């Protein structure tokens, strides 16, 4: 196809040449017409040179590309990667807008809508680059051939267009794949955000978590850690339940993961209490109040009872048949198939007075004083033999104040944590400004640089002024 | 190859017309130059026409040579490049 176009281009240059000769031979002594003769003769010769230079141009482009080290695969991969990052940011911001605006008063689309538009523009621009890149890569030689054809049409009718097309194909084939290098060069010294965009995949939702023990009583002042299922060491959030065993994740910087499964770890007085459900699929816990998506999550302990800040943990296989409590006493009837242990964790200033097993006083087999986030507690281990046991635990709460059980740990609010800033709104604005600069303004500047280079090369190929052979015309 | 044939047809016609015009111009040029009119401008125009027609005849005759030369030189220059240096 290219050679067919070039054949036409060659014959056009021959035609141009002979038209020039014909005009030169005209018996009309009128300079306005006659001047075209020598111009067209030279144009014809130049056009023929251009036609035969087709291979040289193609080879030169390939040679220069290879010398510079251009890789179209990297260019495409870079753009696709950046688009997916922007899409991730868009999705995150969109969910923040829809969810946060309904749950938290004061947050509306006013602050997110312009940011969403900026991301959209950047995505569209990068997509355009991808398309331009694909077109240039696939049709470079065809563009050059068509450019030569247009360049060779007699009387310079489409010479500028042809030159521009040739220059466009050459410059964009060589220059476009350098876009990632250009952007990375100009953005490296600027402040890059601390955020790892992959964490945004988890989205954001708002709601309340209730921590309950086996019998549905709240677990107060427990630490809840939210982690990724694939990387337990990466803490997404850390919250502390209040005295009612409730965690409110309702302010803007708090929140909970919304789109991906996550693991929870409930820790109370130094023990990680196994809870159900775990892992948690947030989509199963949405409640709709006044058409507002809202997460209500109840985490129920599997093996622990919390009675007035005292934790009782039972081994697997212990069946609890009866529980009765009053101000200082806890009564239990349990059944064990073999020898079992019961662990008690009692905060400081609560005194374990006595333990009765089937009306016989027993003593714990182990006692230890430990500390958990600044809370001192006593650990007791009680042994029970096989069979049914009527247990009674007597306590003395005289000097106890609940505040002392509150762990001295700092909370890690979810949204602040994944964004990496305390001031969410400012952080999001800065992040998007940086993205807009990197993926919109910088590529656009590069695009204009290439356009100006194309213009320069087009002037070189097309010639700014007509060149004439040294023949005098009347 | 219809377009190519079409362009070639036109080119052949242009060449034929150009030869005829050359002869016409040459004759007119000499006629003006040799006319018994004492106007220098007319005679100079005749001189110009003769010169132009001769140049036109020259480029007409040289046409195929010119294009052959272009094809030869450019094709010789466009030999494959040596392999680029690898870092």
* Residue A45 sits at the chain B interface (C-beta within 8 Å): yes
Q: What percent of chain A has pLDDT over 70?
A: 91
CATH of domain A197-302+407-421: 2.60.40.1120
Residue A162 and residue A277: Cα distance in Å, rounded?
68
pTM, entire model: 0.70
How confident is residue A19, by pLDDT bands cut at 50, 70 and 90? very high
Per-residue pLDDT band for A175 (boundaries 50, 70, 90) equals very high
CA–CA distance, A42 with A36 (Å, rounded to integer): 10
Cis ω for the linkage preceding A279 (within 30 of 0): yes
Distance CA A203, CA A97 (A): 11
pLDDT at A291: 58
Place of tokens 């193609």: A58
Instruction: Report the range out of A62-76, A104-118, B60-74 with the highest average pLDDT.
Output: A62-76
How high is the pLDDT of residue A432?
79
Q: Report pLDDT for A101.
A: 67
Residues of B in contact with A19 (CB under 8 A): 14
pLDDT at A402: 83
Nearest chain A residue to B42 by CA: give it: A29
Sequence spans of domains, chain A: 65-195+425-462, 197-302+407-421, 306-405
Q: B10 falls in which pLDDT band (50, 70, 90)? A: very high
Terminal C-alpha separation, chain B: 46
CB count within 10 Å of CB A316 equals 8
Mutate to test the interface with A, among B27, B41, B51, B52 (most CBs of A within 10 A): B52
SS3 A395: strand
What's the pLDDT score for residue A145? Answer: 93
More confident residue, A472 or A240: A240
Comparing C-alpha atoms, which of A196, A198, A226, A221 is closest to residue A211? A221
Contacts with A77 (C-beta within 8 Å, 6 or more apart), sequence order:
none
Contacts of B87 in chain A (CB under 8 A): 69
B1 CB neighbours in chain A (<8 A) are 4, 7
Name the minimum distance, in Å, from the CA of A74 to any CA of chain B.
18
Residues A196-215 have a mean pLDDT of: 80
A17 and chain B in contact, CB less than 8 A: yes
Q: How many CB atoms lie within 10 A of CB A54?
A: 22
In A106-178, which ranges are continuous DSSP H helix? 109-151, 159-175
Ranking A291-295, A468-472, B36-40 by mean pLDDT, the lowest is: A468-472
Average pLDDT, chain A: 84
Average pLDDT estimate for A389-413 = 85
Q: Report the pLDDT value the prediction gives residue A450, as an integer from 0 to 100.
A: 93
CA distance A387 to A201: 51
Q: For residues A232 and A387, give the distance between their C-alpha atoms in angstroms, rounded to a whole number.
A: 39
For A138-158, write each residue's pLDDT tens digit: 999 999 999 999 999 998 888
Q: How far is CA A433 from CA A112, A438, B87, in A?
A: 13, 9, 38
State mean pLDDT over A233-252.
87
pLDDT tens by residue, A96-130:
777 766 666 555 566 677 888 888 999 999 999 99
Residue of B nearest to A6 (CA): B4
CB burial readout A177-191, b (16+ within 10 A) else e:
bbbbbbbeeeeeeee
Among the residue ranges A182-186, A206-210, B81-85, the one predicted with the least confidence is: B81-85
| B40 contacts: CB under 8 Å, gap ≥ 6 | none
Burial class of residue A335 (count of CB atoms within 10 Å of its CB; 0-12, 13-18, 19+):
middle
* pLDDT of A466 strictly over 50: no
């Amino acid at each position: 196809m290219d050679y067919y176009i070039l054949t036409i281009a060659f014959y056009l240059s021959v035609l141009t040449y002979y038209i020039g000769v014909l005009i030169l031979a005209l018996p009309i002594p009128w300079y306005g017409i006659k001047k075209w003769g020598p111009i067209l003769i030279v144009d014809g010769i130049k056009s023929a040179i251009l036609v035969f230079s087709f291979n040289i141009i193609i080879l030169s482009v390939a040679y220069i590309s290879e010398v510079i080290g251009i890789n179209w695969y990297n260019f495409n991969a870079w753009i696709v990667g950046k688009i997916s990052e922007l899409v991730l940011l868009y999705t995150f911001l969109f969910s923040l807008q829809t969810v946060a605006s309904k749950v938290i008063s004061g947050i509306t689309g006013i602050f997110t809508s312009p940011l969403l538009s900026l991301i959209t523009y950047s995505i569209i621009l990068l997509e355009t680059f991808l398309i331009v890149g694909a077109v240039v890569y696939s049709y470079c030689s065809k563009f050059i051939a068509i450019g030569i054809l247009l360049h060779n049409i007699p009387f310079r009718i489409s010479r500028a267009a042809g030159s521009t097309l040739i220059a466009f194909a050459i410059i964009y084939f060589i220059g476009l794949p350098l876009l990632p290098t250009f952007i990375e060069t100009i953005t490296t010294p600027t402040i890059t955000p601390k955020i790892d965009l992959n964490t945004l995949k988890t989205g954001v939702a708002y709601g309340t978590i209730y921590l309950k023990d086996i019998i549905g009583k709240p677990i107060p002042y427990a630490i809840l850690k939210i982690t990724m299922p694939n990387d337990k060491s990466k803490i997404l959030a850390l919250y502390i339940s209040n005295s009612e065993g409730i965690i409110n994740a309702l302010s803007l910087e708090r929140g909970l993961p919304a789109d991906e499964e996550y693991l929870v770890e409930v820790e109370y007085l130094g023990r990680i209490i196994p809870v159900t459900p775990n892992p948690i699929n947030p989509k199963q816990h949405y409640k709709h109040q006044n058409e507002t998506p809202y997460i209500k999550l109840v985490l129920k302990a599997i093996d622990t009872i919390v009675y007035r800040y005292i934790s009782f943990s039972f081994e697997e296989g212990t069946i609890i048949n009866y529980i009765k409590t009053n101000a200082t006493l806890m009564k239990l009837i349990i059944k064990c198939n073999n020898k079992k242990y019961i662990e008690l964790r009692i905060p400081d200033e609560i005194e374990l007075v006595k333990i009765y097993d089937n009306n016989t006083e027993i003593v714990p087999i182990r006692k230890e004083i430990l500390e958990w986030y600044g809370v001192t507690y006593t650990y007791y281990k009680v042994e029970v033999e096989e069979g049914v046991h009527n247990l009674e635990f007597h306590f003395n709460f005289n000097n106890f104040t609940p505040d002392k059980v509150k762990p001295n740990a700092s909370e890690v609010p979810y949204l602040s944590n994944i964004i990496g800033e305390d001031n969410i709104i400012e952080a999001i604005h800065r992040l998007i400004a940086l993205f807009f600069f990197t993926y919109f303004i910088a590529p656009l500047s590069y695009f204009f640089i290439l356009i100006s280079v194309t213009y320069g090369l087009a002037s070189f190929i097309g010639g700014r002024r007509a060149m004439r052979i040294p023949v005098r015309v009347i | 190859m219809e377009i190519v044939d079409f362009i070639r047809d036109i080119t052949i016609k242009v060449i034929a017309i150009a030869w005829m015009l050359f002869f016409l111009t040459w004759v007119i040029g000499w006629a003006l130059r040799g006319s018994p009119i004492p106007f220098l401008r007319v005679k100079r125009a005749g001189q110009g026409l003769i010169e132009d027609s001769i140049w036109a005849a020259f480029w007409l005759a040289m046409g195929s040579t010119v294009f052959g030369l272009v094809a030869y030189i450019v094709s010789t220059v466009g030999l494959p490049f040596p392999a680029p240096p690898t870092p």
